[in-house]
């Protein structure tokens, strides 16, 4: 028997992630059970879109059935709800792949994290496009019959499962292409057999679907012969949705609720979007865009190779999902639709690579999103703070990637600072407005974490003089400051690199005292350098410290310790650079060290001081065991002296 013979049936086990996902779906969304209908209609609409696109180049796929539509049928006696489309359909391999596995990288890790935060599950599980699995919220058995366009009638396939551990697949005869999903409803889901209830749900969730959704007129009973036939007489049905693409309507005719439901349709997100922009452009280019800023980040936001982009239509004909060429990489979180009148219907991903129309659309899309964010940042600060917390680190990538919009992006950046009370809500404009008299630089410090940045010893003098410092701890921040050397004429200056000249903020008496101390302790700096040898590039007396005895900084032209660790973790080769050790002349430990020049303990104490400074900066020690041994020896000496 071959794989295409009618009656061949096999039982397959669900992928482990599918079983886990179905459990999350059925339990997390139980309080909003009606959502299953929106998801099934959305899937049917996608299938119709794909067929319409393929039929442009291969009209035979239509099989003389050109009226693309969705039908919903209710059978109170059998307690079934059936949703049927005449879209692209699936073959045997596709139905197993689409309904039995989740082919997304990072799935296992994400689901594990998801189950640990159940309050968020209803908002996040939609990221997997789990619409079909929502059927099991209301059904104790689901039957799917499908035949792919272009295949013979005897190459249909039937999929069936109770949503437990496995499903069956059987080859069947199906005269008409497309897919029908039959839900055998649970006893407590009888409400979904009421035609008035279903029509209202269609109006609520799916009025924007561009294909007609038909339901049987209430006054007409379907005959037994029609039930058995694999075709529906449209005359017995009425259209129950608007059946017009939402983005083609004037904005004045669209409610916020309709915008929100359309977002959920194209994104498979279960939560409302944060904001959206709907525009029709006529001129050199003619197109319509409907762009959304999500509220939640996708689980693979930082996987730059993951699917991303907008839905592309040409003259209302669906072309492709995830047209990544329509968005710059740093805006990969944006969802939406572009409907162009200037591209050919047979456009492919390859043709999108070097296309002037696409380049213009990409540029316009980026500007539109940045304008939307700029408006939000000024008029809805709480909403923008929510956006920044979720997507700020990704937006920062735009400073390096989008030269044309670099200044606009820089204006949208928000930072935690030494004066922001733990919140990342300070803009460059805010910082400049608070700068001290005579201050001509924007100071920042980078670290591996927000806590490490907040407790960096390099901040001590800045806190003493009440000078605000940006605290940068995102992985992208080191590249941000490289590509953004200044803002509105104010240079960005790392407080952990090069000589720190704060004499601008000191009076003449303080300046003279600094010079005198540096001269007096020059022999100490030279002795410590001799004791440490090649472990450091230089040892110098510093006035950037108030509480710590020492700190390490990078030379002006060297890579900072944070970026060195990032590159090393990424397996990158780095030019050799050594830290500069700076000593606090007013600290008791440094004064004691100065008194012990030439003693046997001096070299060991110098090494301990360097190790402590490296740890305080967030760096790793080359030999942690040696550091512990040195500390133990120091303790032994102190204890012996105490006795």
The 10s digit of each residue's pLDDT in 519-571 is 889 999 999 999 999 999 999 988 888 889 998 888 876 666 566 666 565 56
Q: Which residues 6+ apart lie within 8 Å of 283 measured at CB?
A: none
Q: Where in the chain is the domain with CATH 1.20.120.790?
A: 504-642
Q: Give the Cα-Cα-Cα angle 108, 109, 114 (nearest 5 degrees).
A: 95
The pLDDT value recorded for residue 32 is 76
CATH of domain 9-242: 3.30.565.10
Q: Looking at domain 251-377, which of 3.30.230.80, 3.20.19.10, 3.40.50.2300, 3.40.50.300 is its CATH number?
A: 3.30.230.80
CATH entry 1.20.120.790 includes domain 504-642: yes
Q: Which of 155-159, 440-444, 479-483, 500-504 has the lowest mean pLDDT?
A: 500-504
C-alpha 305/C-alpha 180 separation (Å) is 33
The pLDDT value recorded for residue 573 is 60
* Cα distances (angstroms) measured from residue 424 to each of 28, 384, 416, 472: 32, 11, 4, 10
Strands 580-583 and 538-541, by their bridges, are parallel
Mean pLDDT value across the chain: 85
CA 464 to chain centre: 39
Q: Which of 210-219, 373-382, 528-537 has the highest mean pLDDT?
A: 373-382
Specify which residues 313 forms β-bridges with.
318, 339
- Angle subtended by helix axes 35-57 and 195-206, to nearest 10: 60
Main-chain phi, psi angles of 91, to 5 degrees: -95, -175
Note the residue count of the chain.
Answer: 643
442 contacts 415 by C-beta, under 8 angstroms: no
Strands 442-446 and 490-494, by their bridges, are parallel
For the chain, percent of residues with pLDDT exceeding 70: 85
Q: Where in the chain is the domain with CATH 3.30.565.10?
A: 9-242
The pLDDT value recorded for residue 3 is 46
Tell whether the model's pLDDT for residue 187 goes beyond 60. yes
| Residue 31 pLDDT grade (very low, low, confident, very high; cuts 50, 70, 90) | low
DSSP 241: S
Q: Where in the chain is the domain with CATH 3.30.230.80?
A: 251-377
The pLDDT value recorded for residue 429 is 96
- Could you tell me the end-to-end alpha-carbon distance of the chain, in angstroms, rounded to an integer? 93
Stretch (H or E) spanning 359: helix 356-379
Match 């400073």 to its residue by tokens.
399
pLDDT in tens, 387-420: 999 999 999 999 999 999 999 999 999 999 999 9
The pLDDT value recorded for residue 484 is 95
Tell whether the model's pLDDT for residue 91 goes beyond 70. yes
């Amino acid at each position: 028997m071959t794989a295409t013979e009618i009656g061949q049936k096999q039982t397959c086990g669900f992928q482990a992630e599918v079983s886990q996902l179905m459990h999350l779906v059925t339990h997390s969304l139980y309080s909003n059970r009606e959502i299953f209908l929106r998801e099934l209609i959305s899937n049917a609409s996608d299938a119709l879109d794909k067929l319409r696109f393929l039929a442009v180049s291969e009209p035979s796929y239509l099989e003389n059935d050109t009226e693309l539509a969705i039908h919903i049928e209710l059978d109170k006696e059998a307690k079934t709800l059936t949703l049927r489309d005449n879209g692209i359909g699936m073959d045997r391999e596709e139905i197993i792949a689409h309904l039995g596995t989740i082919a997304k990288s990072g799935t296992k890790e994400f689901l594990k994290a998801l189950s640990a935060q159940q309050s968020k599950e209803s908002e996040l599980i939609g990221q997997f496009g789990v619409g079909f699995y929502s059927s099991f919220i209301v059904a104790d058995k689901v039957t799917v019959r499908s035949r792919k366009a272009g295949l013979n009638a005897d190459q249909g396939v039937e999929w069936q499962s109770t949503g437990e551990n496995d499903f069956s697949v059987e080859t069947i005869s199906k005269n008409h292409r497309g897919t029908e999903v039959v839900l055998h409803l649970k006893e407590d889901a009888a409400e979904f057999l009421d035609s008035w209830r279903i029509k209202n749900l269609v109006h609520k969730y799916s009025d924007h679907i561009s294909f007609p959704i038909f339901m049987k007129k209430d006054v007409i009973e379907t005959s037994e012969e029609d039930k058995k036939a694999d075709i529906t007489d449209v005359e017995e049905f009425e259209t129950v949705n608007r059946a017009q693409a939402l983005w083609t309507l004037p904005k004045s005719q669209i409610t916020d609720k309709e915008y929100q439901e359309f977002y959920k349709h194209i994104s498979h997100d279960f939560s409302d979007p944060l904001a959206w922009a709907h525009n029709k452009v006529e001129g050199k280019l003619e197109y319509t865009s409907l762009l959304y800023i999500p509220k939640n980040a996708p689980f693979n936001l930082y996987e730059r190779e993951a699917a991303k982009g907008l839905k592309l239509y040409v003259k209302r004909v669906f072309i492709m999902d995830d047209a990544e060429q329509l968005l710059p990489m740093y805006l990969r979180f944006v969802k939406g639709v572009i409907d162009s009148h200037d591209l050919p219907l047979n456009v492919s991903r390859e043709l999108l690579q070097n296309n002037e129309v696409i380049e213009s659309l990409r540029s316009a899309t980026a500007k539109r999103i940045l304008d939307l964010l700029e408006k939000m940042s000024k008029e809805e600060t709480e909403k923008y703070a929510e956006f920044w917390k979720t997507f700020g680190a990704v937006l920062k990538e735009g400073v390096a990637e989008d030269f044309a919009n670099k200044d606009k992006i820089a204006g949208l950046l928000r930072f935690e600072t030494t004066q922001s009370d733990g919140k990342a809500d300070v803009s460059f404009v805010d910082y400049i407005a608070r700068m001290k008299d005579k201050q001509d630089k924007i100071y920042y410090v980078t670290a591996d974490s927000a806590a490490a940045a907040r407790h960096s010893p390099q901040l001590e003098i800045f806190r003493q003089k009440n000078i605000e410092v940006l605290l940068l701890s995102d992985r992208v921040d080191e590249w941000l400051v490289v590509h953004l050397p200044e803002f509105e004429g104010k240079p960005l200056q790392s407080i952990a690199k090069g000589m720190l000249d704060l004499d601008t903020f000191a009076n003449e008496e303080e300046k003279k005292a600094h010079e005198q101390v540096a001269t007096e302790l020059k022999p100490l700096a030279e002795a410590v350098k001799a004791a440490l040898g090649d472990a450091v590039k230089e040892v110098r007396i510093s006035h950037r410290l108030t509480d710590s005895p020492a700190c390490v900084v990078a030379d002006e032209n060297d890579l900072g310790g944070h970026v060195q660790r990032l590159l090393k973790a990424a397996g990158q080769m780095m030019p050799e650079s050594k830290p500069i050790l700076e000593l606090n002349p007013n600290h008791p430990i440094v004064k004691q060290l100065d008194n012990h020049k030439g003693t046997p303990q001096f070299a060991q104490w110098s090494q301990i001081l360097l190790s402590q400074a490296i740890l305080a900066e967030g760096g790793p020690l080359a030999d942690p065991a040696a550091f512990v041994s040195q500390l133990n020896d120091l303790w032994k000496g102190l204890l012996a002296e105490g006795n």
